[in-house]
Amino acid sequence: QVQLVESGGGLVQAGGSLRLSCATSGRTFSSYAMGWFRQAPGKEREFVAAISRSGSITSYADSVKGRFTISRDNAKNTVYLQMNSLKPEDTAVYYCAAGVRSGTITYIGYYNYWGQGTQVTVSS
């Protein structure tokens, strides 16, 4: 079973930055595509960013393009989400996810494993 643990969330003022981390279990981290999703109160969980197994391909939701960067360090079994120029609209619980099969990594249904989430709150 794959285990994912997010960290790095917190309270930040608008315009500030946070870096989220997702530490994964397993010996085959490099075989997983990884994604970040977020869910605000009363809203559906939505795609934020994804990264391919090698890290050579990344995808972003339009709402975060130019502000967020996803990256991975396969030697540390960790994926990151660098969030800059944060807005109050970014307030949500952020979830890390892993997928092990072929598919479209921007689609929520692709992912097999999920972390517990970490709260990000952006004040105005």
pLDDT of residue 86: 98
Res 28: pLDDT: 77
- pLDDT tens figures, 70-90: 999 988 999 999 999 999 999
Instruction: For residue 6, give Cα distances in angstroms to 21, 24, 59, 66.
Output: 6, 9, 20, 22
Question: 113 and 97 in contact (C-beta within 8 Å)?
Answer: yes
Confidence at residue 31, expressed as pLDDT on a 0 to 100 scale:
85
Over residues 26-72, the pLDDT tens digits come to: 767 888 999 999 999 999 999 999 999 989 999 999 999 999 999 99
